[in-house]
Structure 1
Amino acid sequence: MDYKKWHDHYPSEIPISLSYDEKPLHMFLRESAERYSGDIALHFMGKEMTFTELYLQSKKMASYLQSLDLVKGDKVAIMLPNTPQSVISYYATLMAGGIVVQTNPLYTERELEYQLVDSEAKFIVCLDILLPKVKNIRDRTNLQHAIVTRIKDYLPFPKNLIYPFIQKREYNIVVNVEQTHDTHVWRDMLDMASSEYLEVEINPKEDLALLQYTGGTTGNPKGVMLTHYNLVANVQMCNAWLYKSKNKRQTVLAVLPFFHVYGMTTVMNFAVMQGSKMILMPKFNPDDILKAISKQRPTLFPGAPTIYIALLNHPNLNEYDLSSIEACLSGSAALPIEVQEKFEKITGGRLVEGYGLTESSPVTHANFVWGKRVNGSIGVPWPDTDAKVFRVDSDLEEVDLGEIGEIAVKGPQIMQGYWNNPEETEKVLKDGWLLTGDLGYMDEDGYFYIVDRKKDMIIASGYNIYPREVEEVLYEHEAVQEAVVAGVPDSYRGETVKAYIVLKKGYQITKEELDKFMKENLAVYKVPKIYEFLDELPKTAVGKILRRKLVEDDKEKEKV
């Protein structure tokens, strides 16, 4: 790695270049099972599993998949929340030679069908309550086998007896699953399977481990092709960045869903590589999260700004002890400075902002957890990761220092391209650089800043307005809990600025009062012309606010 100006700020403990293991990703599980055999790998709603048990069950599932004629390169869709089954299925698929297709359990039938057809998945692992959805679209896909599990399969007594009644009450559905030639019951599978599977030769730099679908904010979602080496490199970068945890195994709070690449790398793969314990949280519930932190004492807590905001605004926050938290890496959206400072004060740990994309496995930048941190910045590139700012829609022409352009990244974690989509691949991969679609700049110290997504920039009366800048000011107001800003059509200005706001409980504010506050802190052309107060904002599974959905909902309302 050539010298870059940001390397001046690297703590001595973090090398600017690493030596990456050229091995299959699932070797991390085998090594941790050998090294930490009797130690706890997973904690799930009161029940725990050792690394030995996790490895054994993964081997059994790998063997079973091969008995169903899975061959190298076959796709296995995993449609599960954060449960032991999701971890087992992930590593078992890789061990059997398959490619994981992470699938959001909240997908509609239309979304599920699109992803299964596009990925050509032959297998799916899902919860019993999701099986009817799978059955409804199965004939229109390449699916040959469905492996069905239940939340209760890994619950301790007496929760395993009580849960079916809770499930019926919450989802109003009871699914009885029987073992057939193409539908397989999880518990029966493990009982029947051998612990011996056929090891498959893997070329880490060439063979895919994952097809990870992007959110599809423009057009249909695209399958990001990530190799074993891409994922191994990124998790080893993560390990180097969190250098104080290298020789101290952690307890990691798994709130981020594993079906999102951020949670998959910074939580699951990181914890398995380290031999650390994961506290699995199948869904985000502030009460459950606070209880888990108090009782299980996690030390690492990767998350998203909306997760930290929800906890900070919990009415009984002061009743919980959060002092075990040592480090939090925040991603998926901009981290408001006020949230960062308040969370650090309550926990005593460090909360830093990072940056990445599905296409980069996902992390490329972060602030130093124990080192120089610049508020408002996404930090500096990780080891072996280069970054530049190019003029928008140019042929890789660099902008001047401090000038806004499109951020591009290069490194061993960058994807191979989009599955069956060479046209879209050519648009974003140029001469080894991944064009991120994010507008930003680099300062004289080599720290990077995101001003907004290229497609989210608002152009009002000829002025370029970056929603993130407006949102930062909104978050400074004591009454605002969450906010997102978007451009909406305007007959005079072309576009105008609209703010969607969720107020903190117990607070009230008029649009006039908020408008006065904004005008005191922003140039008048950046101040929202429209304010809408909502009870909640739509979000992705990792807590990223869906700006486009709000705008689309407004358009639909106008049609009525």
Structure 2
Amino acid sequence: MRFEAGHALKLNLGECTCAAGAQLQGGQPCSMVGVEKMAWSKEGVTREFIEGVELLIYKERPASVPQMFRESVLRDPDRPALICEGLRWSYKELASFVNRAAFSLSEGCGLQKGDRVAVLLNNCPEFVVLFLAVSSLGCVFVPLNARLKARELLPQILKAKPRILVAGQDTWDELESLSECLKGVERLFKLGPPSPGAEPFQDLLEAPEAPPPCLEQLREEDLCSIIFTSGTTGRPKGVMISHRNVVNTAQACAKVFQSNARDVDLIMVPLFHVTGLHTQLCKSLYLGSTTVLMKAFKAEQALELIEKERVTLSISVPTIYWLMLNAPAFQGRDLRSFQTIVYGGAPCPPELILRLQEAFPNASLINAGGLTEGTSLQYALPRQDALRKAGSVGFPTPCTEAKIVDEQGNEVVAGEVGELLLKGAAIARGYWEDPEETLKTFKGGWLRTGDLARIDEEGYLWLMDRKKDMIIRGGENIYSIEVENVLYSFPKTLEAAVVGVPDPVFGEQVKAFVVLKEGQQSTEQEIREFCSQHLADYKLPKFVELLEEPLPRNPGGKVQKELLKARA
């Protein structure tokens, strides 16, 4: 089955086309009218042949990320651009710092187009300045996961070959231990107090007021960033993201979230991941709206910022919203400014959706998601379906096409499970210096996601599992998300994840990891009995492990199941 933004579903059975919402009975397409209102708007979207592949893309678009930012600066230079703790910069002030940093990197450090600049930083204003300065020079921004240890960082740094590396005070120790292995890094800068072997980052900002860099050298297809995947499928791979990818994502997010320049975004997720950097920050830079940046998530501080800064939008995993709702500081806060709550990365139980709707009556809820290889956002569930279709990821975003195929690459009919493939202007160019993996994952413009998915009778997309995470017990396929959804509906559950563990008789058995809500107690037997009321016997967890610590997650909020399997 194939469908695209605007939600015309093109099925492999004949030439019939059904709009989203059409009843697809018995795996067969049927005609349906009057349901186009459910579609993400394709206004302004066209088709272009780009590098030999026909793609959906916005006809009117900035040519690059710095062009996108510069247009917002010119449009409203005094609008607040960035708020972080005690700092408040207008677009004009942010542009001034960006221009100074770009001048220092170009004239002082000799950076040229295509050079890589790596940063090992947690959320901070300097991260934003560097991202814009580096991209304005036609250089490639390489944000490293600030949570990684030295041995995890080293292969990424060696592969990216950055000429410059910038670290924070809180990440310096990991880099310092690698000093003998970083001979290829020409300049090493550090935020905070001086340290041997590093230049002070402040030096980059002390250049005289500089004119903005010339952007004529930039092309849409030029690399903007290399973001390493979290390694959930093996060794980390550097995803090559172009300016076209980022601009398209920013435009799609603005459309899907119905955002505008008056929005105030609260970024609670790391900027070194595509969700924080491209889905949130770049959307704001495109619109010229305001970003409130948290250096690290704390529920009480997030609630305070929503009230103080009149925040209108945030994006995070469901667990973060649970923590906010259950924080003592929640009561008494004026949170009426909240208009859009975007969640993803894990199942969101109906109970949480109801709690959020009650707590934020003025807010719309949107389940959205995607992959690093797709610059973050490829599908989203319309806000009116948040409860009715809880668990579905909705439809492809305006410039995304999707199809579901079987093991032989043939498109499947409605209701059947297969691998989800995606195509569009946001799909990355491949993996940095890894042609073998690029050929495996990117074929004819299509991204092989590795996700198992299906389309229901109304045309909604449901992610069933990662191909590698599907559990096969005695010949029966078990999709972990089915079991996880039941576990999340257990009233005492805060977090849950399911993996397959080896079994000499059945091949695999289901094991569940459950984190209980604060103050709750339960047992393996109670949880299994609850599951038995909602699942077939072969899907029941044979083992249940209650965890006191949160589930391990990557920076995008997705559970790192390989770590759970290792302890199972």
TM-score by length of 2: 0.88
- Contact preservation (8 Å) 1:271, 1:278: yes
The code of the aligned residue for 2:320 comes to I
- Superposed CA deviations along residues 461-504 of structure 1, whole A, max 9, x for unmatched, are 11111111101111111111111111111222211111111111
Mapped pair 1:309 → 2:358: no
- Superposed CA deviations along residues 152-210 of structure 1, whole A, max 9, x for unmatched, are xxxxxxxxxxxxxxxxxxxxxxx5337xxx73312233123551364254443321001
The code of the aligned residue for 1:62 comes to A
Structure 1 window deviating more from structure 2 (535-544 vs 491-500): it is 535-544
CA distance in 2, matches of 1:12, 1:223: 33
Secondary structure of the 2:419 match is: strand
Please name the residue that 2:86 is paired with.
46
Secondary structure of the 1:298 match is: coil
The code of the aligned residue for 2:42 comes to P
- Taking structure 1 as reference, are residues 202 and 231 closer, same or farther at Cα in structure 2, changes over 3 Å only? farther
Structure 1 window deviating more from structure 2 (234-243 vs 64-73): it is 234-243
CA distance in 2, matches of 1:197, 1:276: 21
Structure 1 window deviating more from structure 2 (204-213 vs 309-318): it is 309-318
The code of the aligned residue for 2:190 comes to V
- Taking structure 1 as reference, are residues 194 and 295 closer, same or farther at Cα in structure 2, changes over 3 Å only? closer
Deviation at 1:292, TM superposition (A): 1.5
Mapped pair 1:478 → 2:502: no
Q: 2:553 aligns with which of 534, 539, 560?
A: 539
The code of the aligned residue for 1:362 comes to S
Please name the residue that 2:142 is paired with.
101
Deviation at 1:15, TM superposition (A): 2.2
- Superposed CA deviations along residues 370-393 of structure 1, whole A, max 9, x for unmatched, are 67863221010111211110003x
- Taking structure 1 as reference, are residues 39 and 312 closer, same or farther at Cα in structure 2, changes over 3 Å only? same
Deviation at 1:94, TM superposition (A): 0.5
Please name the residue that 1:430 is paired with.
443
The code of the aligned residue for 2:443 comes to K
Q: 1:335 aligns with which of 340, 343, 348?
A: 348
Please name the residue that 1:552 is paired with.
566
CA distance in 2, matches of 1:214, 1:320: 37
Give the CA RMSD over aligned residues.
2.0
Q: 1:215 aligns with which of 218, 224, 230?
A: 230
| 1:26-41 alignment, distance < 5 Å | 26-41=66-81
- Contact preservation (8 Å) 1:327, 1:369: no
Secondary structure of the 1:279 match is: strand
Please name the residue that 1:124 is paired with.
165
- Contact preservation (8 Å) 2:274, 2:556: no
Please name the residue that 1:361 is paired with.
375
- Superposed CA deviations along residues 299-320 of structure 1, whole A, max 9, x for unmatched, are 0111112211222332443233
CA distance in 2, matches of 1:447, 1:337: 17
Deviation at 1:12, TM superposition (A): 8.0
Please name the residue that 2:32 is paired with.
none
The code of the aligned residue for 2:156 comes to Q
Please name the residue that 2:51 is paired with.
none
Structure 1 window deviating more from structure 2 (214-223 vs 316-325): it is 316-325
CA distance in 2, matches of 1:311, 1:523: 34
Percent pairwise identity:
35
Mapped pair 1:522 → 2:501: no
Secondary structure of the 1:521 match is: coil
Secondary structure of the 1:319 match is: coil
Deviation at 1:519, TM superposition (A): 0.5
The structure showing larger relative contact order (alpha-carbon pairs under 8 Å, at least 6 residues apart) is: 2
CA distance in 2, matches of 1:20, 1:117: 38
- Superposed CA deviations along residues 490-536 of structure 1, whole A, max 9, x for unmatched, are 22221111111111122212222221111011001111011111112
Structure 1 window deviating more from structure 2 (530-539 vs 407-416): it is 530-539
Deviation at 1:413, TM superposition (A): 0.7
Please name the residue that 2:254 is paired with.
239
Deviation at 1:143, TM superposition (A): 1.0
Please name the residue that 1:145 is paired with.
187
Secondary structure of the 2:315 match is: coil
- Contact preservation (8 Å) 1:82, 1:254: no
Please name the residue that 1:382 is paired with.
397
Deviation at 1:335, TM superposition (A): 2.4
CA distance in 1, matches of 2:241, 2:557: 23
CA distance in 2, matches of 1:446, 1:193: 57
- Contact preservation (8 Å) 1:235, 1:270: yes
- Contact preservation (8 Å) 2:348, 2:390: no
- Superposed CA deviations along residues 202-254 of structure 1, whole A, max 9, x for unmatched, are 443321001111111122100111110111111111112233x33x5200001
- Contact preservation (8 Å) 1:261, 1:361: yes
CA distance in 1, matches of 2:424, 2:462: 19
The code of the aligned residue for 1:79 comes to L
CA distance in 1, matches of 2:499, 2:68: 43
Higher helix share: 1
- Taking structure 1 as reference, are residues 249 and 469 closer, same or farther at Cα in structure 2, changes over 3 Å only? same
Gaps of 5+ in 2: 10-17, 21-34, 46-57
Deviation at 1:133, TM superposition (A): 2.3
CA distance in 1, matches of 2:253, 2:131: 20
Please name the residue that 1:134 is paired with.
175
CA distance in 2, matches of 1:83, 1:374: 37
- Contact preservation (8 Å) 1:438, 1:453: yes
Q: 2:41 aligns with which of 5, 14, 17?
A: 14
- Contact preservation (8 Å) 2:84, 2:124: yes
Please name the residue that 1:154 is paired with.
none
| 1:398-409 alignment, distance < 5 Å | 398-409=411-422
CA distance in 2, matches of 1:320, 1:553: 41
- Contact preservation (8 Å) 2:63, 2:219: yes
Gaps of 5+ in 1: 151-174, 555-560
- Taking structure 1 as reference, are residues 472 and 520 closer, same or farther at Cα in structure 2, changes over 3 Å only? same
- Contact preservation (8 Å) 1:242, 1:369: no
- The count of aligned residue pairs is 523
Please name the residue that 1:153 is paired with.
none
- Taking structure 1 as reference, are residues 20 and 110 closer, same or farther at Cα in structure 2, changes over 3 Å only? farther
Deviation at 1:459, TM superposition (A): 0.8
Deviation at 1:148, TM superposition (A): 1.5
CA distance in 2, matches of 1:286, 1:337: 21
Please name the residue that 1:420 is paired with.
433
Please name the residue that 1:189 is paired with.
204
Structure 1 window deviating more from structure 2 (131-140 vs 434-443): it is 131-140
- Contact preservation (8 Å) 1:124, 1:145: yes
The code of the aligned residue for 1:528 comes to P
- Contact preservation (8 Å) 1:63, 1:194: no
Secondary structure of the 2:185 match is: coil
CA distance in 2, matches of 1:236, 1:533: 42
Please name the residue that 1:558 is paired with.
none
- Contact preservation (8 Å) 2:40, 2:397: no
CA distance in 2, matches of 1:342, 1:190: 45
Mapped pair 1:199 → 2:199: no
Please name the residue that 1:321 is paired with.
334
Please name the residue that 1:227 is paired with.
242
Please name the residue that 1:503 is paired with.
516
